[in-house]
C-alpha cells in the first residue's frame, strides 16, 4: 500500500505538523500484509522423443562405367573412366586405395538392387518409425501443455488466495481504528489558569463559524480553562484549543489539541525570549504526554493562523476525517509550509501585531 498522506506531517522541522498516539500512527501506516507467495519452480517436462534418422538414398551408379562394361570395353577404357570420374581412388596409396576402389565398383554395380531394397524395405520401415514418432511427439506436446496448464492454475490459485487475504486485512484495518480510539480515556480533568492568546480566540471563532457546514463529523469546542493533570506537578498541560470530534459514520470519538506556536515572547524583563524552538524538549514531552493519553496534537505557526486561518480550519477537519476514514484524502489546500525556527533564528521571525 502507498504511504498514508497524513504521515507526511509527522515531522518536527516544519509547520503544520502532527504528533499522534503510537497506535494511531501505526494504524495509519497500513495493515501488515503477508508476504507474497513464492512461485513454485516450473515443473519438469518429460523428455522430448527423438525423431528417427532419415535413411540415405543409395549412391547412384556411374552411368559411363556401366555403359562401358555393357559394351564390352577393355580395361584401358574402364581405367580411363575411373580416372576421370573418381581420381581420388588413384591418388589413395596402398591397400586403402584398393579397398576404396573395390567398394566404389561394388556400390556401382549393386545400385539397382540396393535401390529396390531401399524402396521396398528401408523407406517403409522409416515411414512406420516416423508415424510412431509423430504420435509420440503429439502425446509429448499434449502432456507438456497439461503440465503447463496445471502449473498456471496453481499459480493463479495462490495469487487469488493471497489477494483474498490482503483484502480481508484491508477491511479489518479500515474498521479497526474504533477499537483503538474508543480505548482511550476522555476529556480534560482539571481546571487551568493558562492564558488564552488572541490568535487562539481567532482560530476558535473560525472553527465555530464552520461547524454548521460539517456533514460527516461533529466537532465540539471544549472549554479553554481545562487541562490534563500531570502526576507529580501542580499545574496541568492545557491545550490552546481542545476539540472533541465524533464521526457521524461510525460514532468514533477523537480528542485533538490544537497548538499555535510563536517564535518568541516578551518576558518580565521586557526582553525577547525564544520559545517553541526546534528540539525543545519541553514541547516534545508535552506532545508525548497528550499522545499517551490518546490525544492528537496539531501544531500551526502563529504566522499560518494569522495569514491562512481558513486553510488551518480545513486542515483540522481533514485530519479528523483521515484518521476516522483511512481512505479519505485531503480535499482542501493545507496552509503553506512554514519552516520551524531554532534558538538562533527565532528572534528573526516576525510576529503579527494584534
Domain containing 300 equals 5-21+191-348
In this predicted structure, the answer to whether residue 80 has a pLDDT above a threshold of 70 is no
Which grid coordinates are listed for 157? 490459485
pTM of the predicted structure, to 2 decimals: 0.65
In this predicted structure, the answer to whether residue 329 has a pLDDT above a threshold of 90 is no
Tell me which of 115 and 335 has the higher pLDDT: 335
Which grid coordinates are listed for 79? 581405367
Could you report the per-residue pLDDT of 125-140, keeping only the tens digit for each? 999 999 999 999 999 9
In this structure, is residue 203 part of a structural domain? yes
Strands 190-191 and 226-227: antiparallel
In this structure, is residue 32 part of a structural domain? no
Mean pLDDT of the chain: 83
In this predicted structure, the answer to whether residue 194 has a pLDDT above a threshold of 90 is no
In this structure, is residue 221 part of a structural domain? yes
In this structure, is residue 298 part of a structural domain? yes
Sequence-separated (6 or more) residues with CB below 8 Å from residue 267? 273
Could you report the per-residue pLDDT of 141-183, keeping only the tens digit for each? 999 999 999 998 988 888 888 888 888 777 766 665 555 555 5
> Cα dihedral angle (176, 179, 182, 185), rounded to 10 degrees?
-130
Tell me which of 177 and 46 has the higher pLDDT: 46
Sequence-separated (6 or more) residues with CB below 8 Å from residue 69? 78
Strands 295-301 and 253-261: parallel
Q: Are 223 and 189 in contact (CB under 8 A)?
A: no
In this structure, is residue 320 part of a structural domain? yes
Scan for cell 508525548, then name that residue: 288
Could you report the per-residue pLDDT of 264-297, keeping only the tens digit for each? 999 999 999 999 999 889 999 999 999 988 899 9
pLDDT band at 101 (very low <50, low <70, confident <90, very high): low
In this structure, is residue 103 part of a structural domain? no
Which grid coordinates are listed for 128? 512406420
SS3 218: strand
In this predicted structure, the answer to whether residue 342 has a pLDDT above a threshold of 50 is yes
Torsion 222-224-228-229 (CA) sign: negative
In this structure, is residue 9 part of a structural domain? yes
In this structure, is residue 121 part of a structural domain? no
**Taking residues 21-50, what's their average pLDDT?**
84
Count of structural domains within the chain:
1
Amino acid at each position: 500500500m502507498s504511504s498514508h498522506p497524513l504521515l507526511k506531517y509527522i515531522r518536527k522541522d516544519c509547520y503544520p505538523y502532527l504528533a499522534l498516539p503510537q497506535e494511531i500512527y501505526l494504524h495509519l501506516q497500513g495493515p501488515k500484509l503477508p508476504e507474497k507467495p513464492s512461485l513454485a519452480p516450473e515443473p519438469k517436462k518429460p523428455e522430448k522423443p527423438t525423431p528417427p534418422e532419415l535413411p540415405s538414398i543409395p549412391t547412384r551408379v556411374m552411368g559411363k562405367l556401366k555403359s562401358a562394361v555393357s559394351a564390352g570395353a577393355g580395361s584401358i577404357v574402364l581405367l580411363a573412366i575411373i580416372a576421370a570420374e573418381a581420381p581420388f581412388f588413384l591418388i589413395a596409396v596402398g591397400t586403402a586405395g584398393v579397398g576404396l576402389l573395390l567398394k566404389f565398383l561394388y556400390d556401382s554395380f549393386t545400385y539397382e538392387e540396393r535401390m529396390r531394397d531401399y524402396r521396398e524395405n528401408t523407406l517403409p520401415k522409416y515411414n512406420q518409425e516416423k508415424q510412431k514418432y509423430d504420435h509420440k511427439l503429439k502425446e509429448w506436446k499434449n502432456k507438456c501443455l497439461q503440465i503447463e496448464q496445471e502449473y498456471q492454475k496453481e499459480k493463479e490459485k495462490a495469487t487469488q488466495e493471497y489477494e483474498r487475504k490482503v483484502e480481508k486485512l484491508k477491511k479489518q484495518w479500515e474498521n479497526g481504528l474504533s477499537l483503538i480510539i474508543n480505548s482511550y480515556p476522555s476529556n480534560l480533568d482539571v481546571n487551568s489558569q493558562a492564558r488564552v492568546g488572541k490568535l487562539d480566540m481567532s482560530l476558535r471563532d473560525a472553527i465555530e463559524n464552520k461547524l454548521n457546514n460539517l456533514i460527516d463529523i461533529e466537532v465540539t469546542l471544549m472549554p479553554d480553562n481545562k487541562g490534563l493533570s500531570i502526576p507529580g506537578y501542580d499545574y496541568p498541560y492545557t491545550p490552546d484549543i481542545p476539540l472533541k470530534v465524533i464521526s457521524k459514520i461510525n460514532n468514533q470519538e477523537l480528542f485533538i489539541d490544537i497548538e499555535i506556536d510563536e517564535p518568541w515572547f516578551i518576558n518580565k524583563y521586557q526582553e525577547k525570549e525564544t520559545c517553541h524552538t526546534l528540539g525543545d524538549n519541553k514541547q516534545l514531552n508535552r506532545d508525548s504526554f497528550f499522545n499517551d493519553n490518546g490525544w492528537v496534537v496539531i501544531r500551526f505557526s502563529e504566522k499560518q493562523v494569522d495569514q491562512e486561518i481558513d486553510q488551518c480550519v480545513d486542515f483540522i477537519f481533514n485530519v479528523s476525517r483521515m484518521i476516522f476514514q483511512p481512505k479519505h484524502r485531503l480535499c482542501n489546500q493545507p496552509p503553506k509550509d512554514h519552516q520551524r525556527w531554532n534558538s538562533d533564528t527565532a528572534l528573526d521571525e516576525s510576529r503579527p501585531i494584534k
